[in-house]
Amino acid sequence: MNIIVVGLSHKTAPVEIREKVAFPPTGMELPLQQMLALPAVSEAVIVSTCNRVELYAASRQPEMAIIELRRFLADFHNLSAADLNDHLYDFTGLEAIQHVLRVAASLDSMVIGEPQILGQIKTAYGYACEFHTAGTILNRFLHKAFSVAKRVRNETAIASNAVSVSFAAVELARKIFDSLENKTVMLVGAGEMCELAAKHFVSHGVAKVLVTNRTFSRAEKLAAELNGTAVNFENFPEQLHRVDILLSSTGAPDYVLSAKKLKEVCKARRYKPMFLIDIAVPRDIDPAANKLDNIYLYDVDDLQGVVQANLKGRQKEAAKAELIIKKEVNQFQSWLATLEVKPTIVALRQQLEQVRQAEMEKTLASLGELNEKERKAIEAMTSAIVNKILHHPTNILKQASNDGNGNLYLDAVRTLFDLPAQKELTSDSDPFDQS
């Protein structure tokens, strides 16, 4: 049994293509059922986010399944297969397992370590459960993916630092003030980035929001949105001594705040620290202010610098995560392999048992009258022969399944003993738990 992935992501397809193949969350039943109905596909999960659309399948005929899944994705969205094919990737076996684990652990994300993807895969799996399209293998596989993602998150610092400018600002503020409760934030100007950062500050519990803008009505509007107070632009400097965190993004050509003014403010605040975030270009706050004690001034480049450094840090952590994933891939693969070995061993046993029974009937018939004891002796002897012959090959098969050579041996055994094609596995039981 193989795991197969067919799909596309932000790395292989532009948004114009991605939006065409996305599956709306409201109508997942139809595509899932259609995917499951494909002849070579025995289990189906569909992951659809704005950055990736991926089909996860379990199949006995991987080559067939890939062709079918590629066609399915094009047909379902009424696209020409030729157009879509260039953007699609497919993975089988170990590669597929690795790919899904990497995606779930957010190593394949546009922003490495972003936390949403795991939730999105969980949702996708939820649909598959709801419509009964995931079976033994995908169930086990996705749970594995979730636990690996969790492990990566816990054991590496992959998601520990902010990688957006507005979050970086909040993180810096917390390194200065510790807690943001009972802190006051002031917005000077009403740029979009300022607004976003202000929302982050509000969600981290700042006590008070002041908004000022040259156009007072805009200040009022934004203040209402943020549950804050609007302040007249003309006299906002008078309010500065109350402000702990200042976000500035006016369109002013010159500095709105001079270092001299800030020095006075500092004194009026009894030198309580102040965090100034200047997102405006050209800048609003005299950069010399950063030299003042207890004033921490960050402009947009500084924040970008922090974000870049954090991203670099994440990449370093990603290398650690890859090692974790490599181990887990092998572990899962060996589980899959035992899934193959078990029925083969059973079939082999049955085959030999049939031969034994048939030959014994013949022999017993030709020998004529035998007493119970003699009959039992023959029975025991033939059984012992079969068991002795099977003992070593069975062990080898079990071993091989653990170190990845399983398929080779299984193929050989099936051919040599002319075993019938394997039946679909129906039980949900874990082969590791038996015998």
DSSP 3-state assignment of 40?
Answer: coil
Distance CA 370, CA 268 (A): 114
Q: In what order do the strands lie in the sheet with 89-92?
A: 43-48, 52-59, 2-9, 89-92
> Is the separation of the CB atoms in 96 and 3 below 8 Å?
yes
Distance of CA 374 to the CA centre of its chain: 65
Number of Cβ within 10 Å of residue 225's Cβ equals: 15
Distance (Å, rounded) from C-alpha 178 to C-alpha 159? 20
Q: Name which position in 305, 312, 346, 355 contacts another protein (CB under 8 A).
A: 305
Residues 266-285 touching another protein, rule: CB under 8 A, are 270-273
Q: Whole-number minimum distance, CB 316 to another protein, in Å?
A: 11
30 or 323, CB closer to another protein?
Answer: 323
4 contacts 73 by C-beta, under 8 angstroms? no
Which neighbouring-strand residues pair with 92?
4
401 half-sphere exposure, CB direction, 13 A CA radius: 23
Candidate residues 11, 174, 362, 376; the one interacting with another protein per rule CB under 8 A: 174
Candidate segments 33-41, 83-91, 168-176, 416-424, binder of another protein by CB under 8 A: 168-176
Q: Rounded to an integer, what distance in angstroms lies between the CA atom of residue 37 and that of residue 87?
A: 24
Min dist CB 296 to another protein, Å, is 5
Pick between residue 119 and residue 305 the one whose CB is nearest to another protein. 305
**Residues near another protein (CB under 8 A), total:** 23
Q: Which is nearer to another protein, 211 or 285 (by Cβ)?
A: 285
382 near another protein, rule: CB under 8 A: no
Q: Could you write out the DSSP letters of every residue in 276-288? A: EEE--SS-SB-GG
Closest CA to 422 of 354, 356, 332, 339: 339
90, 286, 302, 340: residue in contact with another protein (rule CB under 8 A): 302
Lay out the site mask for another protein across 9-48 (x = CB under 8 A, - = otherwise). ----------------------------------------
The answer to whether residue 50 is catalytic is yes
**Cα–Cα–Cα angle for 373, 374, 376, nearest 5°?**
65
Does 178 contact another protein by CB under 8 A?
Answer: yes
Binding mask 133-162 for another protein (x = CB under 8 A): ------------------------x--xx-
Taking the complex as a whole, how short is the minimal distance between the CB of residue 324 and another protein, in angstroms? 16
* Binders in 200-229 for another protein, by CB under 8 A: none
315 makes contact with another protein (CB under 8 A): no
Those residues with Cβ within 8 angstroms of residue 311's Cβ, 6 or more apart along the chain or in another chain: 111, 112, 163
Q: Which of 50, 129, 194, 266 is an active site residue?
A: 50
Residue whose CB is less far from another protein, 172 or 425: 172
**Is 172 among the residues that bind another protein (CB under 8 A)?**
yes
Closest CA to 56 of 108, 11, 91: 91
Segment lying near another protein (by CB under 8 A), choices 1-9, 177-185, 330-338, 392-400: 177-185
Is the dihedral angle over the CA atoms 205, 277, 264, 216 positive or is it negative?
Answer: negative
Q: Point out the residues that are catalytic.
A: 50
Judged by the rule CB under 8 A, the positions of this chain that interact with another protein are: 157, 160-161, 172, 174-179, 270-273, 290, 293-294, 296, 298, 302, 305-306, 309
